[in-house]
């Protein structure tokens, strides 16, 4: 028996092909082209003619044929899948149509709203204005008239006339006159002036009676007070005068048993022409230096006080120079040059 699928020759009693495994049962023969087709064919696989099975050909039922079972199963599955897809599509379409919101005709509603008309009215209100009149008040202020009166005071001038007197001196009294002149010369020689051209303060005043010395510039002048105008316990004042203004006045007197602190206090307090500001102690001399203002001229001033037992010494510095800073420097150099013996 030949296999219709692979033309393999099989034994006559075979049910399936030994080569391909297909059923060897009889097939439907197409009446148009004679092609053998499966038992369930509706159309011929060769010519496409509608198959009408002959009554003479008895289809054999093949139970358990694997190929036919697979084909039927595949067709059933495809049919079920197609039916399922159609059903799913139908359900989706129904849902879309159901859930789609109905079109609502839009109607524009016009509602009349009452309008409030506001009229802008300009209100002119008269405000009382307070008128302030500016009045110039002239007040007479009493004016104090100060008249500058130049007072001319006549100062008595002592006129000294130089008269040459020729006096006869007895010979026996000549020695007595020489002794008196020596005594007077010794009295005036209580101080001396020495020079040192190499030093800026080239002149030095030596006071032998009190026991101190002080240097000053060469161009300054030394002026001594007349000793007849002072008592014995006071030395005549010595003034060192700067030609450009300002001076130094040296004052000395006997005052036993006094301390430097007490003497400085009494000297500054009793001087009505001096207004003290500060006082500092100079250990090198030793002495106190008080700085202030000379009230008569309003110029800066300083007073140096020292105690040289039994003498007390005060040196007044009046700065009346136009170059006050330069003269202040000179004053400090003079103070530093002072020595007590």
Spatial distance between the Cα atoms of 214 and 32, rounded to a whole number of angstroms: 171
Spatial distance between the Cα atoms of 258 and 307, rounded to a whole number of angstroms: 8
Q: Which of 275, 227, 234, 263 is nearest to 251 (CA)?
A: 234
- What average pLDDT does the chain have? 76
First to last CA, the chain: 174
Range of weakest confidence among 9-18, 135-144, 179-188, 301-310? 179-188
Spatial distance between the Cα atoms of 220 and 241, rounded to a whole number of angstroms: 5
306, 282 Cβ separation under 8 angstroms: no
334, 248 Cβ separation under 8 angstroms: yes
Find where tokens 């001038």 sit: 157
Alpha helices in the chain (DSSP H): 66-99, 174-188, 260-270, 324-337
Average pLDDT over residues 294-312: 92
Give the tokens for residue 110. 């016009």
98-130 confidence digits (pLDDT tens): 887 554 444 454 556 566 656 665 656 666 656
Cβ-count burial of 290 within 10 angstroms (0-12 exposed, 13-18 middle, 19+ buried)? Answer: buried
219-273 confidence digits (pLDDT tens): 999 998 877 878 888 888 899 999 988 999 999 999 999 999 999 999 999 999 9
Q: Return phi, psi of residue 229, to 5°.
A: -90, 0
What contacts 76, CB < 8 A, 6 or more positions away? Answer: none
């Amino acid at each position: 028996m030949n296999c219709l699928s692979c033309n393999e020759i099989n034994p006559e009693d075979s049910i399936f092909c030994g080569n391909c495994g297909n059923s060897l049962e009889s097939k439907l023969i197409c009446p148009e082209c004679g092609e053998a087709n499966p038992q369930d064919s509706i159309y011929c696989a060769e010519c496409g003619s509608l198959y009408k099975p002959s009554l003479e050909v008895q289809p054999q039922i093949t139970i358990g044929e694997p190929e036919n079972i697979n084909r039927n199963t595949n067709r059933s599955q495809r049919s079920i899948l197609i039916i399922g897809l159609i059903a799913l599509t139908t359900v989706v379409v129904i849902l879309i149509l159901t859930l789609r919101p109905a079109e609502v005709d839009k109607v524009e509603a016009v509602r009349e709203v009452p309008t409030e008309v506001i009229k802008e009215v300009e209100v002119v209100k008269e405000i009382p204005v307070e008128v302030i009149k500016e009045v110039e008040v002239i007040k007479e202020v009493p004016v104090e008239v100060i008249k500058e009166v130049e007072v001319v005071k006549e100062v008595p001038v002592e006129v000294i006339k130089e008269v040459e007197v020729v006096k006869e001196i007895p010979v026996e009294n000549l020695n007595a006159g020489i002794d008196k002149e020596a005594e007077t010369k010794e009295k005036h020689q209580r101080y001396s002036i020495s020079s040192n051209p190499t030093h800026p303060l080239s002149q030095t005043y030596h006071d032998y009676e009190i026991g101190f010395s002080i240097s000053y510039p060469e161009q300054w002048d030394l002026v001594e007070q007349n000793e007849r105008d002072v008592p014995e316990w006071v030395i005549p004042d010595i003034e060192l005068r700067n030609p450009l203004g300002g001076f130094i006045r040296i004052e000395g007197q006997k005052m036993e048993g006094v301390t430097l602190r007490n003497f400085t206090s009494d000297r500054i307090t009793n001087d009505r022409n001096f207004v003290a500001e500060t006082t500092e102690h100079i250990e090198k001399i030793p002495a106190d230096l008080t700085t202030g203002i000379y009230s008569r001229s309003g110029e800066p001033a300083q007073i140096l006080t020292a105690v040289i037992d039994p003498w007390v010494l005060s040196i007044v510095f009046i700065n009346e120079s136009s170059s006050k800073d330069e003269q202040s420097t000179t004053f400090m150099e003079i103070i530093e040059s002072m020595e007590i013996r």
